[in-house]
Amino acid sequence: MKWVPVCDREAVPPEYGVAALVDGRAVALFRTAEDELFAVDNVDPFTGAGVISRGIVGDRDGEPTVASPLLKHVFSLRSGVCLDEPSTQLPTFPIRHRQGSVEIGLG
Amino acid sequence: MNRTLVIIGHGMVGHRLIEDVRTRDEAGTWHIVVLGEETHPAYDRVGLSSYLDGKTAEDLGLVTHEVATDPRVELRTGTTVAGIDRHHRRVTTTDGTTIDYDALVLATGSRPFVPPVPGHELPGCHVYRTLDDLDAIRAAATPGRTGVVVGGGLLGLEAAGALQTLGMDTHIVEMAPRLMPVQVDEGGGHILGRLIGDLGLHVHTGTATETIHAGEHGHVEAVTLTDGIVLDTDTVVFSAGIRPRDDLAEPAGLGRGPRGGILVDEYCRTGDEHIWAIGECAAVDGHCYGLVAPGYSMATAVAEQLLENSDTPFGGADTATKLKLLGVDVASFGDAHAGTEGALEVVYANNAAGNYTKLVLSDDARTLLGGVLVGDATAYATLRPLVGHELPAAPEQLLLPEGDGVGTGALPDEATVCSCNNVSKADITEVVTTQQAGDVAGIKACTKAGTSCGSCVPMLKNLLGECGVQVSKALCEHFAQSRAELFEIVQVTGITSFSELIDRHGNGRGCDICKPAVASILASLGSPHILDDEQAGLQDTNDRFLANMQRNGTYSVVPRVPGGEITPDKLITLGKVAGEFGLYTKITGGQRIDLFGARVEHLPEIWRRLAEAGFESGHAYGKALRTVKSCVGTDWCRYGVQDSVTMAIRLELRYRGLRAPHKIKAGVSGCARECAEARSKDFGVIATEQGWNLYVGGNGGFNPRHAELLATDLTDEELVRLIDRFLMFYVRTADRLQRTAAWIESFDDGLEHVREVVVDDSLGIAEELAEAMDRHTRNYTDEWSGVLEDPEKLSRFVSFVNAPGAPDPTIEFTEQRGQIRPAPVELPLPNVRAEQEVSA
């Protein structure tokens, strides 16, 4: 696996999302209140719009989630599965924190 | 096949027949001609008194736009029928016009009974029946002078209430030894008389009007009662009962009932197979009904016959009544006078508290036959459906205030819960258990129960509970509290962040339901900029980027244009900015200009350009005040009576930025022509020659609603103060996403409760609400500027955190009619999750 540094850790505020361009692909990065990092595809599978990073971060039964801002579908940040319609899923990416920088795993 | 139905009389019952025929007549068989004697088309006669208390003839009108424009309905008002030619099936009006019919329905109603007292025809004597009668009484009434109402029954008390509303010193004269002798027994009448007397009305029972005296100019000057009392008065209102209007029957050779009324059988048919009679003019098997509910059932029975759906007889009528007369509860149901052989009466009277309850039971004391309630009629809803059924508990338990009362569980399935709309307990439990309805609003929508007089709404709540529906007020899984409760918590504790609130009063980390709701509460209580620190992550995407996210992830930008007034220079700026950033432009329904298709990274520069030209955020993205629409008003319009543009601008600037449970729209019309469509808004203002009328609770959306009149003839200052209180009361107590209409409906007394709090200040909070609004107005700053001045906030307006200038590759446009539009995305159709509005 190749780890690609994307941004400073501070560029992803707690319980907030940002989008990054990784290898030509839009990825949504999130940090929870417990300081866990998650990365999922930025494109909402229901609408085709690159908006997942702009959703509200929260939890459902303890599972960290993001709600797509367009039609409000809620996705698990761990698995990318849409909790409202489990047949739909967001691709997820490995993500880690290394020396003040956030890295995404590719390949 | 086209046939003509002629209806004589356009009152409540005649109108119900039109509606019943039109909704059932799918084949369009019937052409309906309605002949109404009054100049007003059908109106709510039951609500007549409210006409003197602020409602307009239009408010009371029953004719919907749909019926008014229905090509199959021909409405002729101001038309009196002279005779019926049964042989040729033809009706002739007094102006000589003839109309041929295939079916004829007489719905002529009744006329007020005026006792033949000497002097009853003098000027100054009135009856209480029509809008025109009320106009005459209003014109004659002088505040402070004495007015006399002849008749202490239901109608008499209503008329007395009207005279009191008009400021008159009011006397009621009733021949029987007590008030409301038909509905109420002696004990109840005694307490009722006391309660009415406590309200400042003078009650004379057991005495009659002997003579009405004329003064020098032939106008009423005084009334002498049979007990010798002389009342100096120039206004006498007869409200002593009604008589069926059956004048057309005899000349046409139709039979009449023994006590008047057009004689019909149980199907409401006269002796002529082409003619029916319904409502108060009909004597069904010889018996006339003076209430609207039986009339409605008759209309339905006749509509079914006309469409040959079924021959269901008019099944008799529930003559139970529950009223709030002059603010005093009175109810009577079933065999109220214990006329059944062997009937037993159980009475509880509390003179000190001013209430009286009587149950009439069968001779074995087990079956409820009827009852009377005066002073407090809350038990009516549960007792009335029990008539004819075995009592679920000992009578004293049902009567005594400390008793447990009776639960809805005791009701048999077939018991009628909503008698206005004839809905049984089984009908309601059916829609609840099959999950068609999960709350009171759902029951109302599925069954119509609770949509008329509303007295059964408490029972609907009980039934929900019995069906195992827990009506949870929890905002979401993270907060057990309702929005209104969280508002109070935040207000009292002074908590200023979501984290602190959820740590102390919730659980988990929040979600897309509670976070924006709490953000809105914090904003309403005067937090700093909505994108400060943690607040930014709480906001729905629209608030987070201060623009409206559209289907392809781009945003639309809507600057505020207060009252829709805009200078040519500003228009040019809008065009220039739109051209430069390649935006699609559209004029919105709220009199503004929407610029679509902005990429997130372009938003700050677009705002900077707009701000330089003097624009600020229009909050099109927020659950906040959107626009105050206006017409052109007195400045330009030849009809305008007030300056609607200045008022609209004043209101829009006052309430801009106000965060609320739902978006708020408003309108100001400069005259009754209502060009601003103010009555479809959360608050609407319509100018009169005396000032402003304020309407509240209107909306478009899924369930369009007309706003209702809250107050009339206000000065500029009074208007602003009332809107301050109304909006702040709404902001503080409504549920999440609950529009003003549903919020008003959520109170048991509906608009009346809002009026008490907002206009009469019944809770003593009006000043605080107004101050809160003053504070909001003082602290207002433009949200766009707040971002432009803050580099930290500006840094979030990028497409990609690691490539700020790179455009999002998912955004593509095509062209349509010379402007951009989002390129179609090839995807399976999603299930659209519309934001669920909260209903009452």
pLDDT of B389 over the 60 cut: yes
pLDDT score recorded for residue B403: 42
Chain A CB contacts of B536 below 8 Å: 13, 16
Asked whether the beta carbons of residue B537 and residue A15 sit closer than 8 angstroms, the reply is: yes
Gyration radius of chain A's alpha carbons = 13
Identity of the residue in A14, A48, A56 whose CB atom sits nearest the CB atom of B825: A48
- Is B736 touching A (CB cutoff 8 A)? no
Identity of the residue in B802, B808, B830 whose CB atom sits nearest the CB atom of A71: B830
Q: Which pLDDT band, with edges at 50, 70 and 90, does B434 fall under? A: confident
How far apart (Å, rounded) are the C-alpha atoms in residues B78 and B91?
15
The first and second tokens of residue B284, run together, are 């069904």
pLDDT of B587 over the 50 cut: yes
Domain harbouring A32, CATH code? 2.102.10.10
Q: Among A25-29, B64-68, B223-227, name the one with the lowest average pLDDT.
A: B64-68
Asked whether the beta carbons of residue B537 and residue A16 sit closer than 8 angstroms, the reply is: yes
pLDDT of B351 over the 80 cut: no
Chain B CB contacts of A56 below 8 Å: 511-512, 515-516, 537-540
- Is B803 touching A (CB cutoff 8 A)? yes
Tell me which of B549 and B747 has the higher pLDDT: B549
Chain B CB contacts of A84 below 8 Å: 833
- Is B806 touching A (CB cutoff 8 A)? yes
pLDDT score recorded for residue B407: 59
Tens-digit pLDDT profile for residues B533-574: 788 889 888 999 999 999 999 999 999 999 999 999 999 999
- How high does pLDDT run on average in chain B? 88
pLDDT score recorded for residue B778: 92
Binding residues of B for [4Fe-4S] cluster: 631, 637, 671, 675
| Chain B 521-550, residues with CB within 8 Å of chain A CB atoms | 534, 536-542, 544-545, 549
Residue in the structure block whose two tokens are 């509606």: B19
Q: Which pLDDT band, with edges at 50, 70 and 90, does B409 fall under? A: low
First to last CA, chain B: 45
pLDDT score recorded for residue B318: 64
Chain B: residue whose CA lies nearest to A7: B802
pLDDT score recorded for residue B187: 82
The first and second tokens of residue B396, run together, are 């004293």
Q: Which pLDDT band, with edges at 50, 70 and 90, does B204 fall under? A: very high
3-state secondary structure of B463: helix
pLDDT score recorded for residue B528: 75
Chain A contact probe: residue of B512, B532, B556, B793 with most A CBs at under 10 A:
B512
**pLDDT > 70 in chain B, percent:** 94
- Is A36 touching B (CB cutoff 8 A)? no
pLDDT of B640 over the 90 cut: no
Asked whether the beta carbons of residue A19 and residue B799 sit closer than 8 angstroms, the reply is: yes
CA distances (Å), origin B797, targets A19, B555, B600, B785, B787 = 11, 12, 6, 14, 10
How far apart (Å, rounded) are the C-alpha atoms in residues B649 and B367?
64
pLDDT score recorded for residue B471: 67
pLDDT score recorded for residue B1: 61
pLDDT score recorded for residue B404: 43
Tens-digit pLDDT profile for residues B1-19: 689 999 999 999 999 999 9
Asked whether the beta carbons of residue A57 and residue B537 sit closer than 8 angstroms, the reply is: yes
**B91 close to B35: Cβ distance less than 8 angstroms:** yes
Tens-digit pLDDT profile for residues A41-93: 999 999 899 999 999 999 999 999 999 999 889 999 999 999 988 889 999 99
pTM (predicted TM-score): 0.60
- Is A95 touching B (CB cutoff 8 A)? no
Which domain covers residue A71, as residue numbers? 2-106
pLDDT score recorded for residue B400: 63
| Chain B 553-572, residues with CB within 8 Å of chain A CB atoms | 553
- Is B825 touching A (CB cutoff 8 A)? yes
**B403 close to B382: Cβ distance less than 8 angstroms:** no
The DSSP H or E segment spanning B95 is none
Q: Which pLDDT band, with edges at 50, 70 and 90, does B438 fall under? A: confident
Tens-digit pLDDT profile for residues B229-256: 999 999 999 998 889 999 999 999 999 9
Tell me which of B355 and B585 has the higher pLDDT: B585
Asked whether the beta carbons of residue B825 and residue A50 sit closer than 8 angstroms, the reply is: no
Chain B CB contacts of A14 below 8 Å: 537
Chain B: residue whose CA lies nearest to A4: B802
Q: Which pLDDT band, with edges at 50, 70 and 90, does B715 fall under? A: very high
Tens-digit pLDDT profile for residues B267-281: 999 999 999 999 999
Tens-digit pLDDT profile for residues B595-616: 999 999 999 999 999 999 999 9
Sign (positive or negative) of CA dihedral B14, B17, B19, B22? negative
Give me the phi and psi of B542, to 5 degrees please. -60, -45
Asked whether the beta carbons of residue A71 and residue B833 sit closer than 8 angstroms, the reply is: yes
First to last CA, chain A: 5
CA distances (Å), origin B74, targets B33, B41, B77 = 5, 12, 10
pLDDT of B835 over the 70 cut: no
**B786 close to B749: Cβ distance less than 8 angstroms:** no
pLDDT score recorded for residue B529: 81
Binding residues of B: 631, 637, 671, 675
pLDDT score recorded for residue A64: 95
Q: Counting one residue from A and one from B, how many pairs have CB atoms under 8 Å apart?
A: 121
pLDDT of B324 over the 70 cut: no
Write out the DSSP string of B532-589: STTHHHHS-HHHHTTSEE-TTS-EEE-B--GGG---HHHHHHHHHHHHHTT-EEEE-T
- Is A71 touching B (CB cutoff 8 A)? yes
- Is B603 touching A (CB cutoff 8 A)? no
Mean pLDDT, range B438-463, rounded to an integer: 76
pLDDT score recorded for residue B86: 95
- Is B802 touching A (CB cutoff 8 A)? yes
ipTM of the complex: 0.94
Q: Among A27-41, B285-299, B635-649, name the one with the lowest average pLDDT.
A: B285-299
**pLDDT > 90 in chain B, percent:** 55
Chain A: residue whose CA lies nearest to B515: A56
Identity of the residue in A33, A46, A70 whose CB atom sits nearest the CB atom of B549: A70
How many structural domains are present in chain A?
1
pLDDT score recorded for residue B315: 67
pLDDT score recorded for residue B836: 47
pLDDT score recorded for residue B321: 72
Chain A: residue whose CA lies nearest to B829: A46
